[in-house]
Structure 1
């Protein structure tokens, strides 16, 4: 049973209709050609794994900021949070996590707090690993106000393949660290704007696990990670 659990993961409800469509097309492909049918099986399995929603163990120490997405840190740089959130136009450290089409795409809250703003903005669909994706691509931005009154912004950014950002929360929602708040279909990026003075504890190229990997701590005294 333990080995079975390694391969079979829970699937997010958002994926049910997509897996059903893939399975239906696969059945038709088998009527045309067994070869095409088996290709359809492979794509159906991939679709199921895309929408997988495995359990995560979130660190419970105070002030910890976790990755909102599975993927790889693609950028660490100073940037102003999206203007539609109404935050101060002060550059903050932005940590970008790029998700490929093979990553789990369920997004999780970086830190506990109240959702004070949710702002969607339509845009283009550049490759999400590019720097200009933060400014030009379709995005959905959230502002999270922590217990101490500081704000943290997290932004869902659509990518080259992604055409649908899904957000489950609304302003006023009280969230716990690592709690699910949305997902993006099919390949995209998450930006986290750390509060002023908070230093990232990750580096470019590092693999992230949503809800588990610590990207920063509110009271960290660690040495700064170089920004490149």
Structure 2
């Protein structure tokens, strides 16, 4: 199993700390062998849970200029027309994917194109399914002009457990569909905003895989002959 770069430092120091505490217990509390074994078992389970959180599985990435792929693993929790105030200031179709603690928390570019806008917002840590988490929580906003023409906005949103969002893109970058654009440590949700005439390919409650599951298809912009 490949471990994501964002987890290697955390895992290394967590392993050292757990080993140190367990060795100390076995030396200072040798008479309570049962407790020491239970604590050692609990430490192993805790480390394995942390290890699986930072896993980075292989993906057969899908690339197509007018198809939008899931930006993260998780479950589709929102599909609706909403007013998007930060960049478009008009109505867009929103698709939201919630990531549970057992999901892979890598976030991927849903479309290829040029990054036209990027902004990081510090904020609160409401639970990810809270209606105001999209505008109140710590988050990043990325807008990509797709190769098909339309602009697509996607947003990393931290949740109640998440305390750090990592991103690898900036304005002006050229991004490729399915490649990593960030990581949300211990959280939690990604929103995608597309034109309202976009064909949605998923349903509420559907489980998706980042970089592999098609969630929508854009209407391509036909160039004018005049």
TM category, shorter: 0.7 to 0.9
Q: CA deviation at 1:116?
A: 1.2
The Cα shift of 1:178 comes to: 0.5
Question: Normalising by structure 1, what TM-score?
Answer: 0.87
Is the aligned partner of 1:69 residue 2:72? yes
Runs (5+) with no aligned partner, structure 2: 26-35, 221-226
Per the TM alignment, residue 95 of structure 1 is displaced from its structure 2 partner at its CA by 0.5
1:43 positional shift: 1.4
Matched, 1:218 2:212: no
- Higher-Rg structure is 2
**Matched-pair contact (CA < 8 Å) for 1:29–1:37:** no
Three-state SS of the structure 2 residue aligned to 1:134 is helix
Write out aligned runs for 1:35-184 (5 A): 35-83=38-86, 87-184=87-184
1:29 corresponds to 2:21 = yes
- Is 1:13 the counterpart of 2:16 in the alignment? no
Structure 2 length normalisation: TM-score? 0.88
1-structure distance, mates of 2:67, 2:168? 23
Kept in 2, the 8 Å contact 1:113–1:144? The answer is yes
Please say if residues 166 and 184 of structure 1, whose CA atoms lie closer than 8 Å, have aligned partners that are also in contact: yes
Alpha-carbon separation, structure 2, partners of 1:124 and 1:82: 19
Question: Per-residue displacement from partner, 1:18-52 (whole Å, max 9, x unpaired)?
Answer: 11122122213322222112211111111111111
RMSD of equivalent CA atoms: 1.5
Paired residue total: 209
Unpaired runs of 5+ residues, structure 1, are: 1-8, 221-228
SS in 2 for 1:29: helix
